[in-house]
Amino acid sequence: MHPITTVHYMALSAALLLIGTVGVLTRRNIVVVLMSIELILNAVNINLVAFSRAFGADHVHGQVFAIFVIADAVAETAVALGILIALFRNKETVQADEIDLLKW
Amino acid sequence: MLIDTVFFYIFAAMTLLGGILTITRRNPVHSAISLIVSLLGVAGLYLLQKAEFLFAVQIILYVGGIMVLFLFVIMLVNLDAAAKEHEFSGQWPVALAAVAAVAAVAGWFLYHGRSAFHIAAPAYGVIAAGGAGNTERVADSLFQDYLLPFEIASILLLVAVVGSVIMAKKRI
Amino acid sequence: MNFLDLIWLIPLFPLFGALLMLLAGKRLDPQPASDVAVAPGVEPDGGALAHDHAHPNAPLKFLIGLICPGTILLSFLLSAGAVWQLSGLPHKVHQVIQFSWIAGLPFHLANGQMGTFQADWGFLLDPLSSVMILVVTGVGFLIHVYSVGYMAHDNGYYRFFGYLNLFVFFMLMLVLANNYLLLFVGWEGVGLCSYLLIGFYYHKKSAADAGKKAFIVNRIGDSGFILGMLLMMSVLGTLRFTGVATALHSGQFTAETAGFGVLSAMALLLFIGATGKSAQIPLYVWLPDAMEGPTPVSALIHAATMVTAGVYMVARSAPLFQLTPATSSIVAIIGAGTAIFAASIALVQNDIKRVLAYSTVSQLGYMFLALGVGAYWVAIFHLFTHAFFKALLFLCSGSVIHSLGGEQDMRCMGGLKNKIPITHWTMWVGAVAIAGIPGLAGFFSKDEILWQAYSSPLGSKTLWVVGLATAAMTAFYMWRLMYLTFYGKSRVKPEVEAHIHESPRSMTVPLTVLAIGSVLAGWLGTPKLWNLPQFFRAFENWLAPMFGAGEAVREAAHDASTEWGLMGLSVLIAIAGIALARYLYNTRPEIPGRIQASAGPVYKVLYNKWYIDELYDFLFVNGLGKGGGRVCGAFDRDVVDGGVNGAGWLTRFSASVSMWWDTWIVDGAVRLGSFFVKMLSYPVCILQTGRVQTYALFVVLGVLAIFGYYATR
């Protein structure tokens, strides 16, 4: 077996990102869509950490970036779920298809 | 290092499988649990990349915080009705085709450029003199080079707190 | 005093009388509230309306009876003076032209030259018109005097005299005119007055209808007259009598002995006018109905003057008729035919005035017979004598009717001889005169006509036979009238019998004067055969030179014995007629009833006037009149109203087209624009689903596009 290079991590990141994208585009349940977004963010983190490692053990910029991404993901999730709850209170539904008011 | 490769594939499989399960389970709780599995896999991958701080943060924050939050919200939102609805939206063929195309193109890019990302592989297990571990290095970087983004991130979190409280209130 | 230059005054006296009646008549003779002039014999409420006995407060009414006849008397005196002075002139022609009435409108003559259409207001006095004015004013005066008595108890007294004066004015205009157009003015005027006077009792429908009939039938003749005048103007270039005579004798025109030319057409058209006015076939139908008017009207207008206007006009046109033997033959044939036709109808009539009316038509036929065979002065002579005895007969019949309180049916008369003696004797004179007994007026004129019919180059034995037969019938029906009215047993209705009274002096004096005239007038025209002094041939000497010298030549062609023989034959025929009448109606009065029963159909045809009125009704009144009305109605409905409806339809149609255009083309263009916008916007609208996942898909597709770009670079 060939050693795991950065490209492997990139491929894994791409695959996870695309899985997350499929989830965002396809699932009707908004909670699952939010979870798919988490998958996307995690894919990005994997990429960041892989590249950070590729530049050497001292090179931690990528990891710091990844921390910020996590912090951002946290904030975003909190607010998104708050919006979801507000939406659920008004519309009694968490299906993305049924929330289509902002159109002509 | 064979063990690295093996663990890599184990954690990679965990991540990917968890991800696939997340997006395909009808029951959102199952999706959440699958996501937890995926996140744990990602944490393992962090560990393999010698990002121990991040590994810990991932587990504590992501799994312990966000996923719990998710689970609470799933409980709040009516599950029974959601369980009987269609799972996938009407555009799933198009979405799948587009993503497959992007995957094909991205795969082609990666394959053609696989030699471009050769960065000198550092020696594993070399602990630098001075005994600075990963966490110390991260802390150094975070509080010196990236202090401003750190503060801004804290404001971001404050905003998120306020925002989510207000969003979830019945009467603002 | 130069009466000749004052002849223009002759018509104006009666006109003054008429105007006075128009302006002041009602004040002189106030009318009762319901101004109904009711015919005698028709009394709607026991005579209270017709007779104004309850009208003592009309003190000035006598003025009407004084003024109106007075104007006629003045005209008569002036006429007599003028004629006396005329006789002293070498050329017995005097023309007075007052002013140019229609002044010269240029037009093209028939031969291409330019002429001017002009007519003047002028008066001509020559032997012919002198006879006429004396007859009109003389007989007219007597009839006016008679009317004072006859109409005394009628409503509308002033109206009657006004109309009568107006009539005399127009008649004098007619006979004194110096050109055809002014003659036509008088012609129309007398027609108008005839209408007014026939329909005098206008509340009675039959009277009003008779007035209309007279006017309309007259008008039909007038159309011929007008065409004749226009043709004359176009061919000869003038309408003045003297001008026409000059043009015709100038040698430009030859006698149209062979066939029918322009002059014959002209003469025929003028003659058609004469048939209308003088009641010949085919336009005689108005005259019997005209008896609806008061009896003085019948006497004046329909015996003595108006109906003779046609005879006068043809005599005036003698130069024209002398050149057209074809038309003259037509005139003679129609005259003779009318004479015998009318006499046949008069044989069986029961209304006294009807008998006299048909007798008038018959005698007028004699006059036209004379005109047709070229004996112009003889026709005027018969006109002269006929005026006397026919006016006399009519006035006497009026007197009879008046004395019987309105009865006109001879079947309810009889035995009146001793009750109304003056009327009886004057009527006896008139009947003898018309029968043609020698010594009285009718014999001389009628016998002369029969002789001319026999001997003239234009005459023929057939015409003479017809004339003779008519003479026989005339004698018969006249004396039938006399026997039925005056002799025999009285068949008068009991309630009338008590009131039989002789007429007042205002009526009997004119009767006496006319009777004397009927006896004496004839002696002015004795036949040459009798070789009497020239005085007894004054009429012929007075008139004949006007009409050319051809007659002397003619008379020499036949010998005296023929003439004596014919004269004797006509006298015998007259006596035979009288004797037959006496036999049938006096001696054996039951026979006529048996004849009537056995010859039923013949009697019926004669009694119903040969059904001519019914024929005219069918052809013209219903055919042309109502048929024309229907055609015009259909034209009005379908073409005129159809045009209007069509215009309306067209408007609506164009409005609908416009609406279609507006809806589909104009609005369609607008809607097309909006349609395009919608169609173009629709695909874009689809993209905005409002769902976030769709937008996320677009993001991914965009990524794919960018990747694809870089992949293919």
The domains of chain A are located at 6-93
* Burial readout C331-369 (b: 16 or more C-beta within 10 A, e: otherwise): bbbbbbbbbbbbbbbbbbbeebbbbbbbbbbbbbbbbbb
B7 at interface of A, judged by CB pairs closer than 8 A: no
Helix axes C352-372, C308-316, angle to 10 degrees: 10
- Considering only alpha carbons, which residue of chain A is nearest residue B90? A26
Share of chain C above pLDDT 90, in %: 26
Least CB-CB distance to C690: which of A25, A26, A100? A100
Residue C403 has pLDDT above 90, yes or no: no
Residue C554 has pLDDT above 60, yes or no: no
- Considering only alpha carbons, which residue of chain A is nearest residue C700? A21
pLDDT tens for each residue of C14-44: 999 899 888 887 777 776 655 555 555 554 4
Residue C676 Cα, gap to closest chain A Cα (Å): 18
How buried is residue A92: exposed, middle or buried, by Cβ count under 10 Å (0-12/13-18/19+)?
Answer: exposed
The pLDDT of residue A39 is 95
Query: Does a structural domain hold residue B14?
Result: yes
Residue-wise DSSP of C259-270: S--HHHHHHHHH
Domains contained in chain B, number: 1
CA distance C113 to C106: 10
The pLDDT of residue C33 is 55
Sign of the alpha-carbon dihedral angle for C128, C129, C135, C138 = negative
The pLDDT of residue C302 is 76
Residue C48 has pLDDT above 60, yes or no: no
The pLDDT of residue B120 is 59
| CB atoms near residue B67 (< 10 Å) | 19
pTM: 0.65
Give the pLDDT mean for A81-89. Answer: 87
A17 at interface of C, judged by CB pairs closer than 8 A: no
The pLDDT of residue C712 is 86
Q: Which of B24, B54, B76, B80 to mutate to test the interface with A (most CBs of A within 10 A)?
A: B54
Taking CB atoms and an 8 Å limit, are A84 and B77 in contact across chains? yes
CA distance C430 to C396: 9
Q: Which of B86, B102, B108 to mutate to test the interface with C (most CBs of C within 10 A)?
A: B102
CA distance B30 to B42: 18
pLDDT tens for each residue of C63-119: 888 888 889 999 999 999 888 888 888 777 777 777 777 777 777 777 777 777 778
Residue B122 has pLDDT above 70, yes or no: no
Taking all residues of chain C, what is their mean pLDDT, rounded to a whole number? 84
The pLDDT of residue C112 is 72
Name the residue range of residue B17's domain: 1-81
CA distance C56 to C52: 8
Q: Which of residues 45-64 of A touch B (CB under 8 A)?
A: 45-46, 49-50, 52-58, 60-61, 63-64
B96 at interface of C, judged by CB pairs closer than 8 A: no
Say which range, B153-162, C29-38, C349-358, C618-627, has the weakest mean pLDDT: C29-38
User: Count of residues for chain B?
Assistant: 172
B167 at interface of A, judged by CB pairs closer than 8 A: yes
Say which range, C55-59, C256-260, C333-337, C595-599, has the weakest mean pLDDT: C55-59
Query: Does a structural domain hold residue B5?
Result: yes
Give the pLDDT mean for C531-538. Answer: 72
**Touching A: which chains, 3+ CB pairs < 8 A?**
B, C
Sequence-distant (6+) residues with CB within 8 A of C588 are none
Most trustworthy range by pLDDT among B8-17, C211-220, C305-314: B8-17
The pLDDT of residue C52 is 46
- C498 vs C222 pLDDT, higher one: C222
CA distance A81 to C267: 130
C640 at interface of B, judged by CB pairs closer than 8 A: no
The interface predicted TM-score (ipTM) is 0.92
Residue C49 has pLDDT above 70, yes or no: no
A89 at interface of C, judged by CB pairs closer than 8 A: no
CA distance C390 to C383: 10
Query: Does a structural domain hold residue B96?
Result: no
CA distance C128 to C140: 18
Supply C707's token pair. 């990747």
Residue B58 has pLDDT above 80, yes or no: yes
A21 at interface of C, judged by CB pairs closer than 8 A: yes
The Cα-based distances of A68 to A59, A74, B136, B152, C276 in angstroms read 16, 10, 17, 10, 137
pLDDT tens for each residue of C440-451: 888 888 888 888
Torsion angles phi and psi, residue C250, rounded to 5? -75, -10
The pLDDT of residue C136 is 92
Residue A38 has pLDDT above 90, yes or no: yes
- Considering only alpha carbons, which residue of chain B is nearest residue C689? B91
Sequence-distant (6+) residues with CB within 8 A of C211 are C194, C195, C196, C198, C199, C202, C292, C293
pLDDT tens for each residue of C371-385: 998 888 889 999 999
Taking CB atoms and an 8 Å limit, are B54 and A68 in contact across chains? no
The pLDDT of residue B156 is 95
The pLDDT of residue C262 is 82
The pLDDT of residue C501 is 77
pLDDT tens for each residue of C679-692: 998 888 888 888 88
Give the CATH number of the domain where residue B24 resides.
Answer: 1.20.120.1200
Longest dimension (CA), chain C: 161
CA distance C469 to C337: 11
Taking CB atoms and an 8 Å limit, are A31 and B73 in contact across chains? yes
Please tell me the class of the A6-93 domain. mainly alpha
Taking CB atoms and an 8 Å limit, are A99 and C690 in contact across chains? yes
Query: Does a structural domain hold residue B66?
Result: yes
C552 at interface of B, judged by CB pairs closer than 8 A: no
Taking CB atoms and an 8 Å limit, are B66 and A49 in contact across chains? no
Looking at beta carbons, which residues of chain A come within 8 Å of C700? 21, 25
Query: Does a structural domain hold residue B42?
Result: yes
B101 at interface of C, judged by CB pairs closer than 8 A: yes
- Considering only alpha carbons, which residue of chain B is nearest residue C694? B91
Helix axes C461-486, C421-435, angle to 10 degrees: 170
B88 at interface of C, judged by CB pairs closer than 8 A: no
- C358 vs C407 pLDDT, higher one: C358
CA distance C313 to C37: 34
Least CB-CB distance to A96: which of C685, C688, C692? C692
B118 at interface of A, judged by CB pairs closer than 8 A: yes
Q: Count residue pairs from A and C with Cβ separation < 8 A.
A: 27
- C522 vs C550 pLDDT, higher one: C522
- C549 vs C389 pLDDT, higher one: C389
Which parts of chain B fold into alpha helices (H)? 2-24, 28-48, 52-57, 67-76, 79-84, 92-112, 134-140, 147-168
